[in-house]
Structure formats: C-alpha cells, structure tokens
Amino acid sequence: MLDPTNGQGCFTHEKMDHPVPGIMGATGSLLAGSRPIVCGGLVLDNRTYTRNCYSPGQEGLLVSMWEKRGYPASLPVGSQEGVLWVAGGHNGHHLLASTELVAPDRSASIRGPELPEPLWGHCMAKINSSTAMIIGGIAKDGQLSGRTYYYTTKKHAWIPGPELLTPRSDMTCGLIKDTRTGSVKVVVAGGDDGFELLDSTELLTITDNGGPRWTNGPDLPSAIFGSAGTSSPDGKTFYLFGGDGSKIEQAGATKSTGVQLQCSNENCHWSTIDHKMKTPRKFFVAIPLPKNVSNVC
C-alpha cells in the first residue's frame, strides 16, 4: 500500500496478500466504496489462466467467473458500483469477446454484453453512470487496435467512438478533472504500438456527445507499458505506477516508481512521485482504498 500524497506505505499483512503467488494480468477495482476485488490473471508457476476472484483481507475464494481469462479490462458498475464488469481478455487459447458481471454476494458471475470484437490488452474508462468506454488493445490476428466503443445502458448497445491517434495495447487509462475549468478528460498513457513502447499520452474531453476527438497530451517521462493507474478521490490527479520500460527481459526494466498527471486551464503535465513502491511490478492491479481498509498497516 502506498499513499502517493505523503509517501507513507507498507507491505500489507499476509492476510491481504493474493492467495495465488506470482499472478500477472489480473484485473480488479473497489466495489461499493469499500470492498476490493481482484479477478482472473495468468498464474506464472504453471502458465495457466484462472477464473477465480478474491477480496484482499478475506480468506478463501470469493466468486468464480464463467471463463478463465487474463489481461481483461474491468469497471465497477451497477447500484452503488457494487458489481465488477470484466470484459475481454485471453484464456490461453484465443481472445475473448465475452464479458461477465461479478458480484461478491453471488456464487458465480453472470454473462454481460458481448464486446464488438475480441480484445485483450485493452482498457476501460467510465464516462458516467450509464456509459463506459472500451479503448484500444490487441484484436484478431494480433493486430493493434486504435478503435474505441461506448456502451450505454440506456440503449444496451455498443456505439463506435473516436479512434486513437496511435493504436496501442497494454496502456493505462482513466479520468482526470481539470482543477480550474472542471472539465473531465479520458487519459490514455503509454503502451505498445507493436513496434516500440510508447511515452505518448492521448486525451479526450468528455462532453454530452462523448467527446469530439483525441488530442496529444504531455509525454510521459519515459516509454512504458504494463503500468497500473488510478485517480485521486477528487478526480484531480491521475496516478500511474510501475510498468516495464523494455519489451525484452532486462534487469532493472520493471519499475517501482510512479508519476502523476494534473491539468489546469486545459494545460496538463506529468510529474514524478517522490516515493516508490517497495517491489517493482508490471501487469498488476492498483486499487484506491478507503481509510478503513488502508489502515491495516
């Protein structure tokens, strides 16, 4: 756990550890403002994908998904954001277009709406209470996608959105609120374009019609993929942690550092967070925790 505002952090008590050592490409979020959940992923010991979901701090299996999957995307949805919507990913044999709705009070997940196309290495952003956005990723035949799609619960349908300036996968995305104007933007940062790692950032201002087009934002301090990101409680800071600065196994390439994005009067900039995670990580899950959970250490 790390508080990026003051650098305080710790290794959590063993009861907060993931029960499966060495897992990569899982997904997760905070449900109902109080319950962290982590689902799926690739178990490195035996190179198999898992369908299981766990809640840090709670012993034993929480719930199982219908399908094994790693490298999906997810968002909290539903009443009081008490359900995790898990979308796409890879099951070890092929890409997935299926989605699932995972709730801690159910013994199994239920099927969600199919994606417009199978994807993995993509990301999701929550535009508002009724609209979510799927962004980029790896599509069929290993092709990098710059496509985006909106899903609206009002129409229960996928609607094509504006294409990214640079197709990419394994990037980090989220939301950032301008401290002066109050405008909210979708952030897409870093990733892999199939040839090289990216340090570029793209921004999409959220409007009534979803936003006109992507624009170039400030570059990250270095090219990176496989990072994890989350927004501050007030939405005015977007944090990005960890990731890998090399596409090949290279000592020291996996990062323990973090950066933060802030915007004022439509001018955005990245800055380095002084404090580091204790363990370098890539393709991991970062979840904002309320005080009653984070006080465990």
List of residues 6+ apart from 109 with CB closer than 8 A: 63, 64, 65, 66, 86, 100, 101, 102, 103
pLDDT for res 288: 86
25 phi-psi bin (left φ>0, alpha ψ -120 to 50, beta other):
left
Q: Does residue 294 sit in helix, strand or coil?
A: helix
Of 112-116, 233-237, 241-245, 252-256, give the lowest mean pLDDT range: 252-256
pLDDT for res 7: 52
pLDDT for res 187: 97
Residue 177 has pLDDT above 80, yes or no: yes
Task: Provide the pLDDT confidence category of residue 45 given band limits of 50, 70 and 90.
Answer: very high
Task: Provide the pLDDT confidence category of residue 251 given band limits of 50, 70 and 90.
Answer: low
Residue 252 has pLDDT above 80, yes or no: no
Residue 11 has pLDDT above 60, yes or no: no
Q: What is the tens place of the pLDDT at every residue in 100-129? A: 999 988 878 899 999 999 999 999 999 988
All structural domains of the chain with their residue ranges: 14-294
CATH node for 14-294: 2.120.10.80
Residue 191 has pLDDT above 90, yes or no: yes
Residue 76 has pLDDT above 90, yes or no: yes
Portion of the chain with pLDDT greater than 90, in percent: 68
- Give me the chain's average pLDDT, please: 89
- Token reading at 264: 């004022």
List of residues 6+ apart from 155 with CB closer than 8 A: none
As a whole number of angstroms, the distance between CA 85 and CA 240 comes to: 22
pLDDT for res 61: 79
pLDDT for res 30: 92
As a whole number of angstroms, the distance between CA 75 and CA 72 comes to: 11
Cα–Cα distance list, 51 to 42, 77, 286 (Å):
10, 19, 19
Task: Provide the pLDDT confidence category of residue 211 given band limits of 50, 70 and 90.
Answer: low
